[in-house]
Structure 1
Amino acid sequence: MQAQVKSQNIAVFGGAHIDRRGRISGATAPGASNLGAWFEEAGGGGFNAARNLARLGHRVTMISPRGGDPAGDTVAAAAEAAGVIDRPFTFLDRKTPSYTAILENDGNLVIALADMDLYTLFTPRRLQQRATREILAASELVLMDANLPQETLAALIGTAAKFCPLRAGIAVSPAKVVRYRDCLDGLDFLFMNEAEARALTGTEAATAEEWPLLLRSAGLSGGVVTRGGRAAVAFDLEGACLATPPALSALADVTGAGDALASGFLAARLAGADLSACLRFGMAAAVITLHSPFAASDEMSQDMLEQVLQLVPETEMLS
């Protein structure tokens, strides 16, 4: 199955900051000094997805707070390189947010520190600016991440509902996904991992097959729950399906894989694909990212997505 690409307007609101990742060279020794290396790039859940969607042929506008510092210039340069239309709210006297992670030798996360205070200044009144409302009115998809304050997410979802046929969110983390709790009914899809789904629903454990019912009961009409190398589940108003990620011999870096899955899924949805195809396209986009040292792979393209799709198993529909 091929999703026919028609360039559409997409507005992305959320994290666009600096990612710093330290990768341990050998076996991880907790509580001790570990040999390794640092890597720094522009990142953020929303920004990773925005760059992926732009490389998949869409007209993407990124709206996010930013500081007036060299880190902000790095983000701006990354947006330009990916073809993203950059519309930041710049605070000249503040520093650009950052995310610092320590990764094991195999690419899995050990611990991370998010310095994100600037995002609290993205208040709901920012959405009332004429330029922002015009961007929303012209968009087929509004995508956001939970780096934004709870009241801003609620206001954004409410405003977007007046203009945009498709509204989606990225969970970001278990601590932040709960910011969507009071406005889940305004989202068409929410992308999360199992830890984030547990935080959102207050459920200690659930099988893949149980997540659609649990999340629907919480007020969500559609979403995707990823489970590492185990089967992911996707659901919408019409049904639910499972797909198992293809086995990978090695991971370059897990950072950005979930954002890529959201990108591939939503690009397929915009092209009119059904739930099963959307999940497979999302997994293909995640595979491209997992093979890249970057959180948003510069190899992301529709042609590459179609090639990698052949590696993704067929889905299993759930009753």
Structure 2
Amino acid sequence: MKLTPQEQTILRLLRSDPLLDAAGLADRVGTTKASVSVALSNLTRKGAILGRGYLVRGEAAVVVVGGAIMDVKARSSAPLDSATSNPGEVATDPGGVGRNIAENLARLGTPTHLVASVGSDSFGDELLAHTRGAGVQLDHVVTGSRPTGTYLAVLDHDGDLSVAVSDMSATDALTVADIEPARSLIQNCDLLVVDGNIPIEVATWLCDIANSADVPVVIEPVSVVKARRLRPLLAPDRPILAVTPNIAELAALVGHDVADTIPEISRATTELHALGVRHVWVRRGARGSLLSSAPADSADTSRPTVTTNTAVSAEVVDVTGAGDSMTAGFVHALLHDDDAVAAAAFGQATAALTTESAHTVRPDLTHALVTGRLTTQQGTS
């Protein structure tokens, strides 16, 4: 985090006495209250202070930029019959890939800021209240004229997704001007997560800003359509720490079909390494995942390290949000340990726990809960 000498001094004082106000800080620093107020504002934008009350950040902080929508989930009580009405249950839950990742990160214990767009409506109000309650910082959420996005999912009686429709117009309308106020926060965070739902020009601006400040970037492709749109973003002069596609999204990123075999996946991930991606973590559903990592200290990306992970066993209740929790678990663990292989295992365990909950983001999710599942899985393998 890049702080001025005055900002560093104020941060040290707040860590020793969080109850100091602007006047007290000015007296300690030997400057004016107005000068301290400006410094406090800058510290908040940079993510060193988390919201009101001068809560000082003590751990690595993440900025997530992406979609924030309301999930409307319908689950049938029996096997689905097409083209007719099916009995079942309907519930709403805050969602959106970026928002889900941010909430999962906050619940795992990583200080997290969300940059997203919502409407000035009841869904937006409910979504923000829930997300704030989970511990996510929302200072840079944009409230626009378009309605808060919605995602309608129909699940069969086993909890598997049958069909879904999403309205992402609020996210689609995001512009660079909308998120420009978050520039300083992004430049001073420890990691940036980019959700593929945002417009490509916004994603490009974000990655360029992050790279100019040496901030690592993780990209969640979201879908085949969004992954295809992201292809021009990947270039050797715009390094990316990690991308997290499934097989179909990987094929969209490289521009050709990829069979679900380790040799074929490895060849495709090597293509992404050549475009500046350090880690490619490919989700394979019931087959687990494959992590391909290029050497950190070598220009030769043709010989990456490939690791496969088996799927973590789970009693599936609802698969909605599992992929988002998987990315969040990976990012959380990567920040704490810098071991991509261990981070992938942590992410898979996070996803397994999420599928066992009826919620898009498991409300009792913690670092300890995931670690416990990992320990149990290792003991039975």
TM over 0.5: yes
Gaps in structure 1 of 5+ consecutive residues = 1-5, 315-319
TM-score (norm 2): 0.76
Q: State yes or no: 1:247 paired with 2:325.
A: no
Question: Is 1:111–2:111 an aligned residue pair?
Answer: no
The answer on whether the counterparts of 1:154 and 1:182 sit within 8 Å (CA) in structure 2 is: no
Task: Describe the superposition over 1:128-185 as per-residue Cα deviations: whole angstroms up to 9, x where unpaired.
Answer: 33xx112112200100111101111111111111224321011211111122211224
| Deviation for aligned residue 1:189 | 0.8
Aligned to 1:215: 269
How high is the sequence identity, in percent, across the aligned residues? Answer: 29
Counterpart of 2:240 in structure 1 is 187
Residue 109 of structure 2, aligned match among 54, 57, 61: 57
Instruction: State the SS of the aligned residue for 1:222.
Output: strand
> 1:133-152 to 2 correspondence within 5 Å?
133-152=183-202
1:267 paired to 2:317 = no
Specify the alignment match of 1:165 in structure 2. 215
Deviation, structure 1 residue 72: 0.4
Per-residue displacement from partner, 1:229-259 (whole Å, max 9, x unpaired)?
11311122132210011233x3111111111
**Cα separation, 2, equivalents of 1:206 and 1:254:** 21
Cα separation, 1, equivalents of 2:155 and 2:214: 38
Provide the rounded CA distance (Å) in 1 between the counterparts of 2:214 and 2:190. Answer: 5
Deviation at 1:204, TM superposition (A): 4.7
Q: Helix, strand or coil: the match of 1:310?
A: helix
1:208-243 superposed Cα distances (whole Å, 9 cap, x missing partner): 343233133142332211111113111221322100
Mark the CA change 1:8 to 1:281 in structure 2 (over 3 Å): closer, same or farther. same
Give the counterpart letter for 2:251 in structure 1. R
User: Which is bigger in relative contact order (C-alpha 8 A, separation at least 6)?
Assistant: 1
* The structure with more radius of gyration: 2
Question: 1:205 pairs with 241, 259, 264, which one?
Answer: 259
Task: Check the 8 A contact 1:107/1:254 in 2, yes or no.
Answer: yes
Q: Is the 8 A contact 1:189 1:221 kept in 2?
A: yes
Which is strand-richer, 1 or 2? 1
Aligned residue number for residue 4 of structure 2: none
Match of 1:123 among 168, 171, 175: 175
Q: Which runs of 5+ in 2 are unaligned?
A: 1-57, 296-304
CA distance in 1, matches of 2:319, 2:251: 20
In 2: Cα distance, 1:59 partner to 1:40 partner:
26
Secondary structure of 2:327's partner? helix
Is the 1:209–1:233 contact (alpha carbons within 8 Å) kept by the matching residues of 2?
Answer: no
Which protein has the bigger helix share?
A: 2
Note closer, same or farther for the CA distance 1:275–1:312 as it changes in structure 2 (3 Å cut): farther
Name 1:317's counterpart in structure 2.
none
Rounded to whole Å, the distance in 2 between the matches of 1:204 and 1:142 is 28
